[in-house]
């Protein structure tokens, strides 16, 4: 049974809060603090792993074969690679941020002092100066520049402002909730799933004690493939990632559905986990589908790659235009929270 307390507008509101916290991989500490505080407010036992992930224990009646539900709160981002002679900055992507998708993006440089805003532009950004070069130049990181919103015209000016090589750059998500129920924003991968997992956590602590102990895990290094394995309790036998489903031509996934992943670049997910997740979705009345993602890997797969002997699964909300200009729908957020809750309450 789905509780009346799981409401799409509450999940969207939580998602907006999470999206407003810059958290490029390597600087996800504030987003982790946010999740840890929300879980502590629920009375859950919460700890931080050495590397900064958040781990909360939902105590079941049985401690045998505990499971992990994990979502990642780190996002794509960049770092200052080089201060150019004209005071603009060349960037190095963190976690596969795509340069063409960042043309015109507003960003914040996370300096050791106050954050400083700016815009990512092609090197030849002015049509009135460069004419046809504007269309002709490539949009790779070698040609893109960060223009700081400061009067800086040379490297000394930039250094005096406090910006250094190696500073993290967070891209503004531009999050909007549209009247038709869509949420469009960067970094719905994977804050959409993290918001759904927090909603399921709020719900599970209200009801009867679940049968099985499950850890809720918020990972902070997923986008560079180092998310889940470190810090997992040794007795865990199953790891289920909640992460975005890939929407696009040739895919089954849709922005308003929950997808259970059958296979991604890491190979097939555990058949028994897939069957159980599908049965739970049917029982709960969740609109869901199954799919295969051609260019994708999850934290659950990462656990197996690191030698953990665990069953793995993956489900999550459909996200269009992933790693660029993402969009999902409130129905998929609700379905994802419902399936996470059903998993937490599972008797088997």
If the CB atoms of residues 155 and 225 are measured against Zn ion, the closer one turns out to be: 225
Task: Identify the CA nearest to 195 among candidates 2, 6, 1.
Answer: 6
Contact flag: residue 299 with Zn ion (CB under 5 A): no
If the CB atoms of residues 14 and 243 are measured against Zn ion, the closer one turns out to be: 243
Within 13 Å and on the Cβ side, how many CA atoms surround 23?
32
Within 13 Å and on the Cβ side, how many CA atoms surround 222?
28
Q: Which range of residues in 8-16, 187-195, 259-267, 335-343 is near Zn ion by CB under 5 A?
A: 187-195
> Site residues for Zn ion, window 230-249 (CB under 5 A)?
243
Contact flag: residue 320 with Zn ion (CB under 5 A): no
> CB-based contacts of 302: which residues, under 8 Å, 6+ apart?
222, 225, 226, 227, 228, 229
Rg (CA), the chain: 21
**Which residue has the CB atom at the shortest distance from Zn ion?**
190
Rounded CA-CA distance 295/189 in Å is 14
If the CB atoms of residues 189 and 346 are measured against Zn ion, the closer one turns out to be: 189
Q: Known catalytic residue: 143?
A: no
Contact flag: residue 270 with Zn ion (CB under 5 A): no
Please state the closest distance from residue 75 (CB atom) to Zn ion, in A: 9
Rounded CA-CA distance 322/225 in Å is 17
* Candidate list 190, 291, 326, 346; residue touching Zn ion; CB under 5 A: 190
Please state the closest distance from residue 323 (CB atom) to Zn ion, in A: 9
Contact flag: residue 326 with Zn ion (CB under 5 A): no
CA 306 and chain centroid, separation: 21
> Token digits for 247?
């929407």
If the CB atoms of residues 213 and 301 are measured against Zn ion, the closer one turns out to be: 301
Q: Which residues are catalytic?
A: 222
Where along the sequence are the contacts to Zn ion (CB under 5 A)? 189-190, 243
């Amino acid at each position: 049974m789905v509780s009346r307390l799981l409401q799409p507008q509450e999940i969207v509101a939580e998602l907006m809060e999470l999206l407003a916290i810059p958290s490029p991989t390597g600087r996800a500490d504030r987003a982790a603090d946010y999740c840890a505080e929300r879980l502590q407010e629920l009375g859950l036992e919460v700890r931080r792993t050495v590397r900064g992930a958040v781990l909360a224990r939902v105590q079941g009646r049985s401690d045998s074969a505990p499971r992990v539900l994990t979502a990642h709160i780190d996002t794509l981002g960049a770092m200052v690679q080089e201060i150019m002679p004209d005071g603009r900055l060349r960037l190095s992507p963190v976690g596969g941020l795509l340069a063409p998708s960042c043309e015109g993006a507003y960003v914040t440089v996370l300096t050791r002092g106050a954050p400083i805003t700016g815009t990512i532009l092609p090197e030849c950004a002015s049509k009135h100066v460069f004419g046809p070069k504007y269309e002709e130049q490539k949009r790779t990181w070698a040609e893109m520049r960060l223009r700081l919103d400061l009067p800086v015209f040379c490297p000394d000016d930039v250094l005096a402002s406090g910006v250094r090589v190696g500073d993290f750059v967070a891209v503004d998500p531009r999050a909007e909730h549209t009247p038709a129920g869509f949420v469009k924003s960067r970094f719905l991968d994977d804050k959409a799933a993290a918001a759904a997992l927090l909603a399921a956590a709020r719900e599970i602590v209200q009801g009867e004690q679940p049968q099985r102990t499950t850890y809720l895990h918020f990972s902070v290094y997923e986008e560079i493939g180092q998310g889940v394995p470190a810090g997992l309790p040794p007795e865990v036998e199953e790891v289920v990632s909640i992460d975005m489903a890939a929407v696009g031509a040739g895919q089954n996934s849709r922005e308003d559905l929950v997808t259970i992943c059958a296979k991604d670049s890491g190979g097939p997910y555990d058949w028994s986990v897939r069957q159980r997740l599908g049965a739970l979705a049917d029982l709960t009345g969740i609109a869901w589908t199954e799919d295969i993602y051609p260019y994708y890997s999850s934290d659950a797969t990462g656990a197996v790659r690191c030698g953990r002997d665990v069953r793995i699964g993956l489900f999550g909300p459909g996200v269009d235009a992933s790693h660029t200009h993402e969009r999902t729908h409130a129905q998929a957020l609700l379905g994802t929270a419902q399936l996470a809750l059903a998993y937490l309450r599972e008797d088997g």
